[in-house]
Amino acid sequence: MSVSGVKSSRISRPEKQTRVKVIIKLLFWWAFWLSLMILGLLLANWQWHRAAEKVALLSAWEHAPIHMNPLTEPENLARLKLTGYFLEDETLWLDNRIHNGQIGVAALTPLLTDSGQWWLIQRGFVVTGVDRQFEPSVPTPVGLSLVRGRWQQIRPGALVLGDNREGNRLQSLSIAPWSHLSGNVFEGVVHQESGDGLLTTWWQPSQMPPERHTAYALQWLCLALLALVMAVIGHWKWFKD
């Protein structure tokens, strides 16, 4: 009696294999949807941080102090007033810029001050079209010049495929091409807004407002929530069947 009872309580091998398969399927099911949930939460958190960074950036832009010919490096996005002499022969071009749907370059010309400090001035946009053989030409002031603009610190790490410099064109902002110049220099560029030698202004500190980052964060949160709902529904259906 007891022997037969033990035998009847045992799970048959086919049933055991079926249960193992169901458990494995559920593990893969939850692993997939939990991965999507975690990914959605991580991306949402990243977009929240990006929105906060943009708010801080816009605040710094709005309340930036004004410096006149500073001898120490200014804070990022500070407003500068500089007097000095443009080094016309040292002009290079920041390549692959787009302004109002037109392709062009931005003129980069060093400005040497009386203190021996020189600043890299981004003077504005020049239309070139798609022909990369076209060599732009812009007038450069001679004599003492006044430049007003925004200071942008150059942070390393920009992705550049190949050499940064091709002829007189640069793929990304860098002061390395002017390393032969004597005098003190800071790692950054002045985006000119007014003054002598100004071309067409185009530069903005941020192309995406904080509200868009917030919208992206909400979208990623919705994705995480949807993944949770799908995981629960799938789990419930498997147990029901």
Question: Helix or strand or coil: residue 195?
Answer: strand
- Per-residue model confidence as pLDDT tens digits over 71-101: 999 988 899 999 999 999 999 999 989 999 8
Listed in sequence order, the residues at least 6 apart from 94 whose beta carbon sits closer than 8 Å to its beta carbon are 105, 106, 107, 108, 122, 169, 170, 172, 173
Residue range 127-137: average pLDDT? 83
| Cα-Cα end-to-end distance for the chain | 34
Helix (H) or strand (E) holding 149: strand 145-153
- For residues 97 and 137, give the distance between their C-alpha atoms in angstroms, rounded to a whole number: 16
- Per-residue model confidence as pLDDT tens digits over 29-42: 888 989 999 999 99
Listed in sequence order, the residues at least 6 apart from 197 whose beta carbon sits closer than 8 Å to its beta carbon are 86, 109, 121, 123, 139, 140, 141, 145, 147
- For residues 75 and 73, give the distance between their C-alpha atoms in angstroms, rounded to a whole number: 7
Two tokens at 218? 């909400």
Residue range 57-66: average pLDDT? 78
Indicate whether this model's pTM tops 0.85. Answer: no
